[in-house]
Amino acid sequence: MLEHFRPFFFWAGIANELILNGTEESVTYQKTLARPVRLAGQTLHAGVPVSCILSPAPVGHGLVFRRLDALAEVADVPVCPETIVIAPLCSRIANEGGTSISTLEHLMAAFRVFGVTNALITLDGPEVPILDGSSQPWVRALQEATIIEQELPAQVIKLTRQISVSHEDSHATLIPLTAEEDQETFSAAIDFDVPSIGVQSFTTTPTLEAFERDVAASRSFVVTSQLPDLQAKGLIRGGSLTNAVVFDANGVRNPEGLRFADEPVRHKILDAIGDMYLGGVEIMAHYRGNKAGHALHAALLRCLFADGAAWHWADEDLDTKVVAFRASQR
Ligand SMILES: [Zn+2]
């Protein structure tokens, strides 16, 4: 039975490199958590307590958020191109039943750099807890949960041409990797009219090592001139100096100061890594963002997934393999 399928069992856990047509190609396996882990905290927008449990999930499951406070038939929101919502000032996904999940970018960035492809994320509210405003608590949680490889390769999107979106002076672009390249890069630039931020730029690779060292601890930030508008829109009822860096004309208001001299642009990179994983799949591309935010990132992904000529699945047959694998497990 399933003769064509057996090699996957053989590869799994044995080798991360395999020989295809005489050329070496690196294979990344699907990954999940070895055990559940729970984090609880406040939400940024509504300012209410929320509990979040990250649980293991089987091959082919994907990343799925489950709202415990929603009706069971509309409680699940999968992370996939169809659920991406263009929302101001946060990342958001929503299903056809109207159930949404907001502020998932810092968790998504941690999932991306750990390579987590299958997990069930249960929440008892509409937002992921903001915690300290960075990805560091999520990185620690995933380390505590232990990330394990599963039996099949992970799906990857390969870009075939550049995709760009812009709005006023904000730009975001995905650029295909060249034939010689096997590592994506993320570059971001910002230009703020307060001297304590000013012009900043940063480039990194979305690897766990670089993320932990250079990006994960960078916190969300805000400039005091933005506060009245954000407060009027009810977007920061849970915002405080414990989960965001606040800049004014004189500098940083947080008594503990900055975690990095260029913390804002590093956080822009963090958000971009998380947002570019909102399709639920790694995109093999270089990201370039200039003053880019969540709404522009959502628009960029919409443009990408709407343009079938701009990308292809690295493994067109993976869905079939997943079905066969599940059948073999029964
Ligand atoms: Zn953020």
Q: Both tokens of residue 62?
A: 């994907």
CA of 89 to the centre of ligand 1 (A): 9
Higher pLDDT, 56 or 9: 56
Is residue 16 over pLDDT 80? no
Please check the confidence at residue 198 and state whether its pLDDT lies above 90.
yes
Q: Looking at residue 37, what is its pLDDT?
A: 98
Residue 96: other Cβ atoms inside 10 A: 9
Long-range contacts of residues 208-212, Cβ cutoff 8 Å, at least 24 apart: 208/113, 208/114, 211/109, 211/113, 211/135, 211/139, 211/273, 212/113, 212/139
Residue 194: Cβ-neighbour burial (10 angstroms; 0-12, 13-18, 19+)? middle
Q: What is the pLDDT of residue 25?
A: 60
> What separation in Å is there between the alpha carbon of 133 and the centre of ligand 1?
7
Helices (H) and strands (E) in the chain, counts: 8, 22
Q: Is 50 exceeded by the pLDDT of residue 4? A: no
Instruction: Of 22-31, 40-49, 200-209, 271-280, give the lowest mean pLDDT range.
Output: 22-31
Question: Is the per-residue pLDDT at 179 higher than 60?
Answer: yes
Rounded to 5°, angle at Cα 308 from 63 and 5: 55
pLDDT at 20 over 50: no
Mean pLDDT of the region 143-169: 96
Centroid of ligand 1 to alpha carbon of 136 (angstroms): 12
| β-pair partners for 94 | 100
CA distance 99 to 226: 28
Å from CA of 220 to ligand 1 middle? 5
* Average of per-residue pLDDT values in the chain: 90
Supply the residues annotated as catalytic: 294
CA of 20 to the centre of ligand 1 (A): 39
Q: Cα(314) to centroid of ligand 1, in Å? A: 29
Query: Among 16-25, 257-266, 290-299, where is mean pLDDT lowest?
Result: 16-25
Q: Give the Cα separation of 221 and 240 in Å (integer).
A: 10
Whether domain 22-329 has CATH 2.30.30.90: the reply is no
Distance 37 CA to ligand 1 centre (A): 22
